[in-house]
Amino acid sequence: MEFGIMVTIFIFSAQRLLRRISSSKIPKTSLISLFLWNYSYFSIGVNVNLVLGLFNYFFFNSRVRNYVKKTSGPKYTVEDVEKAVAAMKKGNKTYKQISEEYNIPITVIFNRLKGRQTAITCTKKGRLPALAINVENDIEKCLIAGAQMGQPCDKAELKELVREYVVINNISTPFTNNTPGDDWYYLFMKRHPSLSFKKPEQLQKLRKDARKPDIIYDFYDKLQQVYIDNNISDSAFVFNCDESGFQTDPSKLKAIGQKCIALSRISGGSGRESISVLACCAANGIYLPPFIIFKGKGVQARWTSDKSYPGTLYAVSNNGWMEETLFYNWLNTMFVDYINALRKERNMEQQKVVLLFDGHCSHSSLRIVQLAIQNNIILVRFPSHLTDRLQPLDKCVFGPLKTAWNRLLIQFGKDMIGKGAGRLTKGMFSEMLGKLWNNAMNPSNIISGFSTTGLFPFDKYKFPVNEFDPVDLEEYLKCKANEESNDPSVSTIEQPDIIQHNSLDMHAYEVNNNQCFEQSLTPAVAEDQISLEPSTSSDNISVSSKDIISIFSNQLIQYKTNNTISVTKDRVPRLRAAKYGEVLTTEDVLKRLEEATSKKNLIKYPGKRGRPKKAIDDVENIVVEQLVDDIDDAVYHSSEDDCNDNSLDLSIEEVIYNTPIWSQIKPGVFLLVDFIGGNRKKQNFKYVCLVKRVDEDDGDILVQGLKKYNEIGTDFYIVENDLSDITVEMILA
């Protein structure tokens, strides 16, 4: 093949030389050099082009994707084409005259006039796409619909959708095996800029199911009624509180590094430690001091800092999370004191205050509700699994706050280079959190959080309507319309314009006894009123329609059918989740809490073998009785020879324990430690431990447990893997 190409080039160059020789006078001495120059010039060019062409054919099998047109687009517009076609239909002028008048090529006028494949509104150069424009628009709507339903398509699924459409409709395309390639995919995405290839976020099905109009609008209606009944019109008396974990190592911010080499950032901790902080803010942008919850048995002085935010509160819990006792103390001390001072400052002693929070179990109890009623506080709980959409702190405050916190952690790590392990101690955490509260707690973000969620100023339609299931939304509007028709006193329900266009027929997704997919189509998809109604059944799914929308809906149904597993199991009685929002400071809720508290006090928790469970105060007696039982068992099972040899010495000397002093706690010292265990984490167990490491900054002590070597507990041995972190409060002696 290459030899034939070279011969052709040689003949072509020889002919070119003969023409040049006959047309001009060239010395005979330069003919040979000129021939060789022309031959080498053409052969090198052809060889380079040949190599590049073969390389592109075998490795890419497509044309250049990043091709840039050498000429600009047409200078005429659609209106010019329409005028030229109208003038040509009159028959007064020729093609050439109209082409010169409107500056439009004759072929363009001729094709538009004869009704060729090119549309009259098309002013672009190049070939038409393999699929019609209306089909590509339907594909775009299907992709958006699938994304809104939580079932987005990737590149392979899109190609399979197009392949099935081409095969069913017997369309002639340049696709290999009727499957579009990457070039068609890239050009399709370029022709539809509203689409983008991105990584989807993980959305729990519980959160998707919770986004129902009856749940959300019920919460807004209750909140609006609270505002009306209590005459709340000042943003200073509407609050939101929530807890969030602040990590002790940076995790979110990106950095610059070398390509193809892993990038790491040195930190002093494991990257999995976090400290809970409760934040509270008002709708006018005012925020309260933070409430820090450490993990431990008691707050130590070294954990606090003089440079922390003024008024910061500290507390501890077993796991470092919020508990009912801690929330009650915060409500009784910080929040009640603040609102009383606010009322006194504004001379509004009887003004009621609204406090919104999530449905965590630590936020609702009998004494919390009683305390709120006594201080004219209205407690409002958000619906379950909707705080990411309804809570102002989650919506606009915690995001920028965590970003600023990561920057502080990065700067802290740089400042600690060469100064030790670089671990963020609890005292340093309090100091850095004070800087964060002073600099990053932006009042404008707080105000935006309340306004974007529609909590204050009140606007129930601030919730995005495109996140609703269209079927649920239609049923909700019908129910409201029926209520209004039955009750003339009810005012006409106001609907945003975006709902009036949302009239999709989504019955094509019904599978297995009207079990439909969770859908939520955007108004851009719904405004054309696409009807998704392929003739399908739950037993035999087949494609009877040839349009792209029917094929797409059948793919979703097939996916749902293949992934639906019917498992029959016995019903387990469980507490019903509180889906709807609720006002807790009411007589009904108070009565319900009182009944639950009284029933809880009457429950007797039986111990093993039907014996009543011993109180926590009698744990020391339990340990002593167990020690006596062990000694008795050892005496009973011992042989007579052992008794004669006096090998078992039952004499127990009195031991005097030393009071624990921090300066004396060093590696190698034995301690008597009080651990909490049992099924309900309420039993105390005392163990002898060996100190392995002492952290003087945080007050944490790493100890290694000891185990009995003999039956009576006079000899012990060290257990290698029995390591635990303790605090000073757990040391008995």
Question: Is the pLDDT higher at 40 or at 457?
Answer: 457
Average pLDDT over residues 8-25: 57
> Residues 27, 30, 32, CA angle at the centre, nearest 5°?
130
Do residue 213 and residue 361 come from a single domain? yes
- The encoded tokens of residue 163 equal 């392949």
Say if residues 73 and 125 touch (Cβ distance below 8 Å): yes
Do residue 164 and residue 233 come from a single domain? no
Q: Phi and psi dihedrals of 320, rounded to 5?
A: 80, 15
Q: Phi and psi dihedrals of 316, rounded to 5?
A: -135, 155
Do residue 293 and residue 434 come from a single domain? yes
Strand pairing report for 313-317 and 291-295 = parallel
In the chain, pLDDT over 70 holds for what percent of residues?
67
Domain boundary among 430, 445, 467: 467
Return the pLDDT at 387. Answer: 92
User: Highest-confidence range of 6-20, 165-179, 197-211, 337-351, by mean pLDDT?
Assistant: 337-351
Average pLDDT over residues 247-268: 83
Which residues is 292 bridged to in the sheet?
277, 314
Domain membership of residue 508 (yes or no) is: no
Cα–Cα nearest to 308, from 438, 406, 402: 438
Q: Alpha-carbon distance 180 to 166, whole Å? A: 10
Question: Is the pLDDT higher at 120 or at 388?
Answer: 388
Task: Please check the confidence at residue 23 and state whether its pLDDT lies above 60.
Answer: no
- Crossing angle of the two packed helices 78-90 and 95-102, in degrees rounded to 10: 150
Do residue 292 and residue 331 come from a single domain? yes
Task: Please check the confidence at residue 368 and state whether its pLDDT lies above 90.
Answer: yes
Question: Is the pLDDT higher at 151 or at 659?
Answer: 151
Q: What is the dihedral of CA 433, 436, 437, 438, to 10 degrees?
A: 120
Do residue 137 and residue 279 come from a single domain? no
Average pLDDT over residues 10-19: 59
Do residue 348 and residue 399 come from a single domain? yes
Do residue 279 and residue 411 come from a single domain? yes
Return the pLDDT at 718. Answer: 77
Return the pLDDT at 487. Answer: 63
Return the pLDDT at 210. Answer: 83
Which residues is 691 bridged to in the sheet?
703
Total residues found in the chain within this entry: 733
Tell me, letter by letter, the H, E, C secondary structure of 62-107: CCCCCCCCCCCCCCCCHHHHHHHHHHHHHCCCCHHHHHHHHCCCHH
Say if residues 686 and 623 touch (Cβ distance below 8 Å): yes
Do residue 459 and residue 396 come from a single domain? yes
Q: Alpha-carbon distance 31 to 90, whole Å? A: 63
Domain membership of residue 620 (yes or no) is: no
Q: Give residue-wise pLDDT tens across range 670-728.
A: 888 888 777 666 777 888 888 888 877 666 788 888 776 665 566 777 777 788 888 87
Return the pLDDT at 65. Answer: 61
Task: Please check the confidence at residue 370 and state whether its pLDDT lies above 80.
Answer: yes
Q: Give residue-wise pLDDT tens across range 517-533.
A: 333 344 444 444 344 33
Cα–Cα nearest to 721, from 694, 700, 703: 703
Task: Please check the confidence at residue 98 and state whether its pLDDT lies above 70.
Answer: yes
- Summarize the chain as % helix, strand, coil (round to 5): 45, 10, 40
Question: For tokens 């109208």, what's the residue?
Answer: 86
Do residue 306 and residue 246 come from a single domain? yes
Domain membership of residue 604 (yes or no) is: no
Task: Please check the confidence at residue 103 and state whether its pLDDT lies above 60.
Answer: yes
Cα→Cα distances 125→96, 115, 133, 187, 701, Å: 21, 17, 15, 15, 76
Band of the pLDDT at 596, cuts 50, 70, 90? Answer: confident
Determine if residue 518 is left, alpha or beta; phi over 0 gives left, psi from -120 to 50 gives alpha, anything else beta.
beta
User: Highest-confidence range of 63-67, 170-174, 325-329, 627-631, by mean pLDDT?
Assistant: 325-329
Return the pLDDT at 639. Answer: 38
Domain membership of residue 475 (yes or no) is: no
Do residue 151 and residue 18 come from a single domain? no
Q: Alpha-carbon distance 275 to 264, whole Å? A: 23
Return the pLDDT at 10. Answer: 57
Return the pLDDT at 242. Answer: 96
Domain boundary among 467, 487, 514: 467
Q: Alpha-carbon distance 297 to 726, whole Å? A: 9
Return the pLDDT at 614. Answer: 44
In the chain, pLDDT over 90 holds for what percent of residues?
30
Question: For tokens 């932006």, what's the residue?
Answer: 442
Say if residues 412 and 253 touch (Cβ distance below 8 Å): no
Band of the pLDDT at 516, cuts 50, 70, 90? Answer: very low
Return the pLDDT at 685. Answer: 81
Q: Give residue-wise pLDDT tens across range 112-143.
A: 887 765 555 565 666 778 888 888 988 998 88
Q: Give residue-wise pLDDT tens across range 414-442.
A: 888 877 777 888 999 999 999 999 999 99
Q: List the CATH number of the domain containing 366.
A: 3.30.420.10
Cα–Cα nearest to 374, from 117, 614, 654, 590: 590
Domain boundary among 409, 435, 467: 467
- The encoded tokens of residue 528 equal 């054309």
Do residue 421 and residue 292 come from a single domain? yes
Domain membership of residue 147 (yes or no) is: yes
Domain membership of residue 627 (yes or no) is: no
Task: Please check the confidence at residue 575 and state whether its pLDDT lies above 50.
Answer: no
Band of the pLDDT at 390, cuts 50, 70, 90? Answer: very high
Return the pLDDT at 6. Answer: 56
Band of the pLDDT at 603, cuts 50, 70, 90? Answer: low
**Which DSSP category does 575 fall into?**
P
Buried b (16+ CB within 10 A) or exposed e, 105-132: eeebbebbeeeeeeeeeebeeeeeebbe
Q: What sections of 646-694 are H helices per DSSP?
A: none
Q: Chain-wide mean pLDDT for the chain?
A: 75
Question: Could you give the number of structural domains in the chain?
Answer: 4
Q: Give residue-wise pLDDT tens across range 612-668.
A: 444 434 433 333 334 334 434 433 333 334 433 443 343 444 556 666 777 778 888
Domain that holds residue 368: 205-250+271-467
Domain membership of residue 635 (yes or no) is: no
Cα–Cα nearest to 439, from 470, 414, 407: 407
Question: Is the pLDDT higher at 152 or at 252?
Answer: 152
HSE, CB side, 13 Å, CA atoms: give it for residue 386: 26
Do residue 388 and residue 242 come from a single domain? yes
Task: Please check the confidence at residue 51 and state whether its pLDDT lies above 50.
Answer: yes
Q: Alpha-carbon distance 309 to 434, whole Å? A: 4
Answering whether pTM is above 0.85, one says no
User: Highest-confidence range of 265-269, 394-398, 679-683, by mean pLDDT?
Assistant: 394-398
Domain membership of residue 657 (yes or no) is: no
Q: Give residue-wise pLDDT tens across range 461-515.
A: 999 888 887 778 888 888 888 887 776 555 444 544 433 333 333 333 333 333 3
- Name the amino acid, one letter, at 390: L
Which residues is 355 bridged to in the sheet?
239, 379
Secondary structure element (H or E) that encloses residue 34, with its range:
helix 31-59
Return the pLDDT at 48. Answer: 52
Q: Alpha-carbon distance 426 to 629, whole Å? A: 44
